A and B are shown apart, each in its own frame.
Chain A
Amino acid sequence: EAGVVQSPRYKIIEKKQPVAFWCNPISGHNTLYWYLQNLGQGPELLIRYENEEAVDDSQLPKDRFSAERLKGVDSTLKIQPAELGDSAVYLCASSRRRGQGNEQFFGPGTRLTVL
């Protein structure tokens, strides 16, 4: 079974530039998550999708962050404009069943550096 795929793995941009991250979850996994992980910290949930519906985006800074999951499969997370404090690892995860009570499978993450 192929794992969660994320791209790019690394991204370096200047502040105020836009950036986008892409995630392809494990086939058949209806639930998809985006997390942010700062250095020395655990992941923090940004948004959770059940199929194409965003069911929890309370932690997503909506002034600059947006996400979409068209057709309930791949997902894109965008930041526009990026700020210095956005430097972090952005993780995508998926799970087979609805809700967060189940095992989540994580992708390798995208390490974002904002200069």
Chain B
Amino acid sequence: SQQGEEDPQALSIQEGENATMNCSYKTSINNLQWYRQNSGRGLVHLILIRSNEREKHSGRLRVTLDTSKKSSSLLITASRAADTASYFCATLTQGGSEKLVFGKGMKLTVNP
């Protein structure tokens, strides 16, 4: 079963523009993680934000988390062609057996 749902499912932008991806989830979480997947490097962890955090930065990445709305957003600033990939949010559910549940992902295309 998949909890996170990324929105939009596909996004195409020009190099240098910002890209924003949203993730909504259903149940209470311990943390939320964003991963990137492309054919060259497989699935790579980008950033983790804990349930008691509201915003986090890492390089050109900015993640926000709104637990009241059960949603997160990933902002990639000054995008590059190399950012072309599929992006997944993954939520670590609270209680019981810890389980990292991935969304279906969204495809970002950055045109040079």
Contact A43 B102 (CB under 8 A): yes
Contact B102 A101 (CB under 8 A): no
Contacts of B31 on A, CB cut-off 8 Å?
Answer: 101
- A25 in the interface (beta carbon within 8 A): no
Contact A42 B105 (CB under 8 A): yes
Contact B98 A103 (CB under 8 A): no
- B43 in the interface (beta carbon within 8 A): yes
* Shortest Cβ distance from residue A61 to the other chain B in the assembled complex, whole angstroms: 15
* Shortest Cβ distance from residue B71 to the other chain A in the assembled complex, whole angstroms: 17
Contact B100 A104 (CB under 8 A): yes
- A28 in the interface (beta carbon within 8 A): no
Contacts of A45 on B, CB cut-off 8 Å?
Answer: 99-101
Number of A-B pairs, beta carbon distance below 8 Å: 51
Interface residues on B, range: 20 to 34
Contact A100 B105 (CB under 8 A): no
Contacts of A100 on B, CB cut-off 8 Å?
Answer: 92, 98-100
Contact B97 A91 (CB under 8 A): no
Please report which residues of chain B, range 30-89, place their CB below 8 angstroms from some CB of chain A when the two chains form the complex: 30-31, 33, 42-45, 48, 88
Within the assembled complex, what's the spacing in Å between the Cα atoms of A20 and B2? 26
* Shortest Cβ distance from residue B43 to the other chain A in the assembled complex, whole angstroms: 4
Instruction: Select one of A91, A99, A103 contacting B45, CB under 8 A.
Output: A103
Contact B98 A43 (CB under 8 A): no
Within the assembled complex, what's the spacing in Å between the Cα atoms of A31 and B98? 13
* Shortest Cβ distance from residue B85 to the other chain A in the assembled complex, whole angstroms: 13
Instruction: Select one of B44, B45, B90, B98 contacting A42, CB under 8 A.
Output: B90
Q: Which residue of B lies closest to A93 (CB)?
A: B43
Within the assembled complex, what's the spacing in Å between the Cα atoms of A109 and B43? 9
> Which residues of A are at the interface with B, using a C-beta cutoff of 8 A?
40-45, 56, 58, 91, 93, 99-109
Query: Which 9 A/B pairs are nearest by Cβ-Cβ distance?
Result: A42-B102, A106-B43, A100-B100, A103-B45, A100-B98, A108-B42, A42-B88, A43-B102, A101-B92
Query: Can you list 14 contacts pairing A with B, beta carbon distance less than 8 Å?
Result: A41-B104, A41-B105, A42-B88, A43-B102, A45-B101, A56-B98, A91-B42, A100-B100, A101-B30, A101-B31, A101-B92, A101-B98, A103-B33, A107-B42
